[in-house]
Amino acid sequence: MRFDTILIGGGLASLVCGIKLQRAGQKCLIVSAGQNALHFSSGTFGLLGRLPDGTAVSNPLEELGKLPGTHPYSKIGPVKVSEYAAEVKDFFNSCGVRLHGVAAQEGSEVSPNGYRLTPMGVLQPSWLAMEDVTLLPSKDELKWRKALIVNFYGFLDFNASFIAEGLWKIGVESRVETVKIEDVETLRKNPADMRSVGVARLMAKEKNWKDFGGMVRGLLSGEDLVIVPAVFGFGDQVIVEWLREMIPADVMFIGTMPPSVPGIRTQILLKKAFESAGGTFLPGDTALDPLFSGTSVAGIHTANLGSIVLSADRYVLASGNLFGKGLEATPNRVYEPVFGLDTDFPADRSKWCDPDFFALQEFAGFGVLCDDSFKAFKDGRTVDNLYVAGAEVGGCNPLYEGSGAGVSIMTAMSVADSILHGN
Ligand SMILES: Cc1cc2nc3c(=O)[nH]c(=O)nc-3n(C[C@H](O)[C@H](O)[C@H](O)COP(=O)(O)OP(=O)(O)OC[C@H]3O[C@@H](n4cnc5c(N)ncnc54)[C@H](O)[C@@H]3O)c2cc1C
């Protein structure tokens, strides 16, 4: 089977790149082994929350020049990153994913980074947010005085008391209530079923979300903010909008323990957009055993298709890093398992991770070595037709910098442009 471009990985980077290529007239295949980071998403996209030296960033586009030359944003170039940033909202909107926040305001005194309230009740910088996630314009000026936090009875994956504690610390008087929805109660028979996805499936029934909204309304006692778990709406944002309209206070949806319902919704909508543009998505299959012709990839096999060779003019490796299994590690070595590409990691094993959980963790920045157009290196030479995108790209530590989605989106857009312009 022959395609213009084969993309390996079904996460944010692969989908953004695949949609761009497919919409530009290419014939693309995405091979996706399994779950991706969107299934664990906070519901927000980070562009740059702090510099590698730890300095906090409030206006990412103004700080790009301070990044090292090996950083993916430096390879793309600050001007191009700003151009892509300005396109992001329209691009996602065209896929049915409505994002809010300030996407691009180069040179402005207003900070594009907003702040999201985490499930621990702490404010964290974020660039853009999915529809149901609230972004505050500043971490110092909260507009609410009193908050009501509502959880489902027995739902342990949403820690309402952490949130309440965090809010008290930043001056918002908070109280916690629980509600019982008969259908959701049935999940409690088996604790393994009482997870965000199980609750979200039941809350998709109109009677349940309407009952929930009514109960929350009844509990209100002068609060100007209501916080509920983000378990509403896999396919669209209709329930979120309805709850926001019917509850007479600001309604904030806060992420639960994974899986992430807003993240899964985004993945579903992006996959739909890729397929509607004519792309082929091969779920639950793993790319392996590539064929090489000189310094080019000539084809790949997959675990399910046996001896059938899938070939294309160009290949994009967007298989995540250690988390997505795009990289694997032995006690002394970090390697890329599909093509055997060159990887970037410290030889000194003791530097891989820090016992202080909150310190910079080097392993989160391991990636594949690539040139300035994200063509991968193998044995010190670029592979002519193999690009790397997303978390698999080395040269930055997205976890530390708060740049995860930004790096995925920017590298995906850049790789798509390189392919379309024949670079
Ligand atoms: C747990 C977690 C939560 C995160 N939350 C956020 C957040 O809230 N906001 C933010 O900005 N960033 C977040 N990030 C950063 C994240 O890396 C990026 O946001 C982005 O989603 C990564 O996308 P990706 O497509 O590059 O990789 P991934 O999402 O990791 O996707 C890689 C995909 O490749 C597949 N794959 C791997 N090997 C093969 C193979 N051989 N064949 C076929 N498929 C293969 C995997 O199964 C997976 O589907 C998070 C990261 C993690 C790990």
Tell me how far the alpha carbon of residue 369 lies from the centroid of ligand 1, in angstroms: 18
Q: Is 242 in the pocket of ligand 1 (CB under 6 A)?
A: no
Mean pLDDT of 5-29: 98
Cβ atoms < 10 Å from Cβ of 265: 27
Q: Average model confidence (pLDDT) for the chain?
A: 93
Q: H-type helices in 72-141, by residue range? A: 72-76, 78-94
Edge-to-edge strand order for the sheet containing 280-283? 280-283, 28-32, 2-8, 311-317, 381-388, 375-378
- The pLDDT of residue 108 is 56
Q: Is 8 in the pocket of ligand 1 (CB under 6 A)?
A: yes
Percent above pLDDT 70 for the chain: 98
Strand partners, 254: 229
Tell me the C-alpha distance between 205 and 220, whole Å: 23
Mean pLDDT of 28-41: 95
**Beta strand spans in 263-379 (E):** 280-283, 287-293, 296-302, 311-317, 328-329, 334-335, 343-344, 367-368, 375-378
Q: Is 113 in the pocket of ligand 1 (CB under 6 A)?
A: no
- The pLDDT of residue 117 is 85
Q: What confidence tens digit (pLDDT) does each residue in 92-117 have?
A: 999 999 999 888 765 554 557 899 88
Site to substitute for ligand 1 among 408, 409, 411, most atoms within 8 A of C-beta: 408
- The pLDDT of residue 109 is 47
- Residue 366's closest CA among 412, 417, 328? 328
CB 109 within 8 A of CB 85: no
- The pLDDT of residue 191 is 73
Tell me how far the alpha carbon of residue 328 lies from the centroid of ligand 1, in angstroms: 14
CB 85 within 8 A of CB 61: yes
- Residue 37's closest CA among 421, 410, 408? 408
Q: Is 300 in the pocket of ligand 1 (CB under 6 A)?
A: no
- Residue 270's closest CA among 3, 39, 6, 47? 39
Tell me how far the alpha carbon of residue 363 lies from the centroid of ligand 1, in angstroms: 15
Tell me how far the alpha carbon of residue 324 lies from the centroid of ligand 1, in angstroms: 6
- The pLDDT of residue 190 is 81
Mean pLDDT of 261-268: 93
Rounded alpha-carbon distances, angstroms, from residue 368 to 13, 72, 260, 420, 422: 15, 12, 27, 22, 22
Q: Whose CA is nearest to atom 6 of ligand 1?
A: 41
Q: What confidence tens digit (pLDDT) does each residue in 207-258 have?
A: 999 999 999 999 999 999 999 999 998 777 789 999 999 999 999 999 888 8
pLDDT band at residue 19 using 50, 70 and 90 as cut-offs: very high
- The pLDDT of residue 266 is 95
Q: Is 37 in the pocket of ligand 1 (CB under 6 A)?
A: yes
Q: Whose CA is nearest to atom 14 of ligand 1?
A: 404
- List the domains of the chain with CATH numbers: 2-109+264-420 (3.50.50.60), 134-254 (3.40.50)
For residue 283, is pLDDT > 60? yes
In this structure, what token pair is assigned to residue 275?
């397929």
Tell me the C-alpha distance between 59 and 16, whole Å: 24
- The pLDDT of residue 119 is 81
pLDDT band at residue 142 using 50, 70 and 90 as cut-offs: confident
Closest ligand 1 atom number to CA of residue 408: 26
- Residue 112's closest CA among 92, 99, 126, 124? 126
- The pLDDT of residue 422 is 84
Tell me the C-alpha distance between 119 and 208, whole Å: 24
Strand partners, 136: 115
- Residue 255's closest CA among 192, 198, 204, 196? 196
- The pLDDT of residue 362 is 94
For residue 184, is pLDDT > 70? yes
Q: Whose CA is nearest to atom 5 of ligand 1?
A: 41
Mean pLDDT of 46-52: 94
Closest ligand 1 atom number to CA of residue 10: 49
Cβ atoms < 10 Å from Cβ of 330: 7
Site to substitute for ligand 1 among 17, 35, 36, most atoms within 8 A of C-beta: 36
* Poorest-pLDDT segment among 135-139, 260-264, 311-315, 379-383: 135-139
Instruction: For residue 370, give the DSSP letter.
Output: B
Tell me how far the alpha carbon of residue 13 lies from the centroid of ligand 1, in angstroms: 8
Tell me how far the alpha carbon of residue 320 lies from the centroid of ligand 1, in angstroms: 5
* Angle, CA of 275, 279 and 283, to the nearest 5°: 75
Top mean pLDDT of 115-124, 239-248, 295-304, 352-361 is at 295-304
Q: Is 272 in the pocket of ligand 1 (CB under 6 A)?
A: no
- The pLDDT of residue 105 is 66
Cis geometry, peptide bond prior to residue 290 (ω within 30 degrees of 0): no
- Residue 419's closest CA among 25, 2, 12, 95? 25
CB 369 within 8 A of CB 376: yes
Q: What confidence tens digit (pLDDT) does each residue in 190-212 have?
A: 877 889 999 999 999 999 999 99
- The pLDDT of residue 36 is 96
Task: Using CB atoms within 10 Å of the CB of residue 347, give its burial: 0 to 12 exposed, 13 to 18 middle, 19+ buried.
Answer: exposed
Closest ligand 1 atom number to CA of residue 35: 49
| CB neighbour list of residue 396: distance below 8 Å, 6 or more residues apart | 52, 67, 70, 71, 72, 73, 365, 367, 403, 407
Q: Whose CA is nearest to atom 48 of ligand 1?
A: 36
CB 345 within 8 A of CB 354: no
Closest ligand 1 atom number to CA of residue 42: 8
- The pLDDT of residue 123 is 85
Cβ atoms < 10 Å from Cβ of 251: 20
